[in-house]
Amino acid sequence: MEAAPGTLRRTPLAALHREMGAKMVPFAGWEMPVEYSGLIGEHLAVRKAAGLFDVSHMGEIEVAGPGALAFLQRVTSNDVAKLAEGQAQYSALPLPNGAPVDDVVVLRRGAERYLIVANAGNIDKDYRHLLDQDGREVEVKNRSDEFALIALQGPRAPEILQPLTTADLSALRRYHFADGTVDGHPAIVSRTGYTGEDGFELFVAPDAAPALWKKLVETGGPRGLLPAGLGARDTLRLEARMCLYGMDMDETTTLIEAGLGWIVSLDPGKGDFPGRGVLEAQKKGGPPRKLVGFEVLGRGIARHGHPVLVHHQPAGAVTSGTYAPFVQKNIGLCYLPAAHAAVGTEFEIDVRGRPVPARVVPTPFYKRAQ
């Protein structure tokens, strides 16, 4: 289902977002809520209580059949053999240059059945990429239109969700999922997210989404839950130093450069995959540049695209930058030459013509208490 050029696609919750007063903006070809009651309030609600996000624009591609594991081992960077049924894994679809077509989450739904969760802007690209691979004994199906995806995130997410679901959340570990119901609607309840908090992503049928959204707002409201937009989702993921495809990485940045060596498996059982040689060499010898986290030391907010200066010479650009509402600092990510990427290194960012000092800092900028 491709929308005509110039028209925005709408999730099953779009009408409800408007009704509930969300500010809607175009994002990756979709009309999405960027903000409900206010970005900072939504961000803090997720850190302290809970937030609810519509991420139905994300894609779901099913890979099934006797050859599914072998196929996924050849097209992803992480070791799919480590996945038990009911387990999820952060991974990427690498190219021969070691850069990702997309970063994805792979869910093992059965002995020979997997679901790849893809970024909204990359669904068609990922799907074509997978179809282009030699996949005997495997069926690749784009099921994105069959799922709405609601993310319930924050420390109070379990107590909000448990009374509504048949899944035993106390037995559901991080990066695991269970099939069950939520408020009577069949759902995949996955303990995953993109905020740096505990929380869940609920895959449900599109027509169930509005009623479920209302129910979660009603149940969570008294516990501090706020409906939240993509604005807060972006500042939350950045505080937790999670990369955003298209900003912090793309088809020109290797997974090692992006700091994602931990999703690149060099295990002998993994076998060959695109870019393995490059990635192995960079993992062992170090990449020429590294994606680092920085804090702005002077006055100003770094934004995507602002030039980065090392010894006053152009050395790249900011990939993500924002005021971070929980840590209350101006932070960001940028690529720096490996020789200038150590924690503590100072450099400058050209903020609309004004050089502003910044320093490489340890990441994540925010880490939740365990």
Partner 1 sequence: MYSDDRRYTKEHEWVKVDGDRARVGITDYAQNQLGDVVYLELPEVGRVLKAGETFGTVESVKAVSELFAPVSGEVLEVNSALVGNPEAINTDPHGNGWMIVVRPSDPGSVGGLLDARAYQALVEGAK
Instruction: Give CA–CA dist 103/250, Å, rounded.
Output: 9
The two tokens of residue 202 are 């609920």
Q: Which residues contact 112 (CB under 8 A, 6 or more apart)?
A: 64, 65, 66, 68, 69
Does the protein bind partner 1 through residue 35 (CB under 8 A)?
yes
Quote the DSSP letter at residue 235.
H
Does the protein bind partner 1 through residue 329 (CB under 8 A)?
no
Q: How far is the CB of 201 from partner 1 (least distance, A)?
A: 23
Q: Tell me the number of residues near partner 1 by CB under 8 A.
A: 19
| Interacting positions 299-318 with partner 1 (CB under 8 A) | 299-301, 303
Cis preceding linkage at 364, omega within 30: yes
Which span sits near partner 1 by CB under 8 A: 135-143, 149-157, 257-265, 319-327? 319-327
Does the protein bind partner 1 through residue 39 (CB under 8 A)?
yes
Q: Is 363 exposed, middle or buried (0-12, 13-18, 19+ CB in 10 A)?
A: buried
Q: How far is the CB of 39 from partner 1 (least distance, A)?
A: 5
Does the protein bind partner 1 through residue 357 (CB under 8 A)?
no
Mask 173-212, x = binds partner 1 (CB under 8 A)?
----------------------------------------
Which residue among 16, 34, 208, 228 contacts partner 1 (CB under 8 A)?
A: 34
Does the protein bind partner 1 through residue 352 (CB under 8 A)?
yes
Q: If you count them, how many residues does the chain have?
A: 370
Which span sits near partner 1 by CB under 8 A: 143-151, 175-183, 245-253, 320-328? 320-328
Q: How far is the CB of 365 from partner 1 (least distance, A)?
A: 15
Instruction: Give CA–CA dist 183/208, Å, rounded.
Output: 10
Q: Which helix (H) or strand (E) holds 75?
A: helix 68-75
Contact 301, 351 (CB under 8 A): yes
Kindly tell me which of 231 and 274 has the beta carbon lying closer to partner 1: 231
Does the protein bind partner 1 through residue 235 (CB under 8 A)?
yes
Does the protein bind partner 1 through residue 40 (CB under 8 A)?
yes
Which residue among 38, 121, 155, 307 contacts partner 1 (CB under 8 A)?
A: 38
Q: How far is the CB of 263 from partner 1 (least distance, A)?
A: 28
Which residue among 322, 334, 347, 348 contacts partner 1 (CB under 8 A)?
A: 322
Kindly tell me which of 35 and 257 has the beta carbon lying closer to partner 1: 35
Reduced to 3 states (helix: H, G, I; strand: E, B; else coil), residue 149 is strand
Kindly tell me which of 274 and 293 has the beta carbon lying closer to partner 1: 293
Please name which of 101, 69, 99 lies closest in space to residue 89, comparing C-alpha atoms.
69
Mask 279-298, x = binds partner 1 (CB under 8 A)?
--------------------
Instruction: Give CA–CA dist 304/88, Å, rounded.
Output: 30
Q: How far is the CB of 23 from partner 1 (least distance, A)?
A: 8
Does the protein bind partner 1 through residue 323 (CB under 8 A)?
yes
DSSP calls for 11-71: -TTHHHHHHTTPEEEEETTEEEEEESS-HHHHHHHHHHSEEEEE-TTSEEEEEESTTHHHH
Which residue among 325, 326, 347, 365 contacts partner 1 (CB under 8 A)?
A: 325
Contact 100, 93 (CB under 8 A): yes
Q: How far is the CB of 40 from partner 1 (least distance, A)?
A: 4
Contact 350, 361 (CB under 8 A): no
The two tokens of residue 357 are 């000092």
Interface residues toward partner 1, by CB under 8 A: 23, 34-35, 38-41, 231, 234-235, 299-301, 303, 322-323, 325, 330, 352
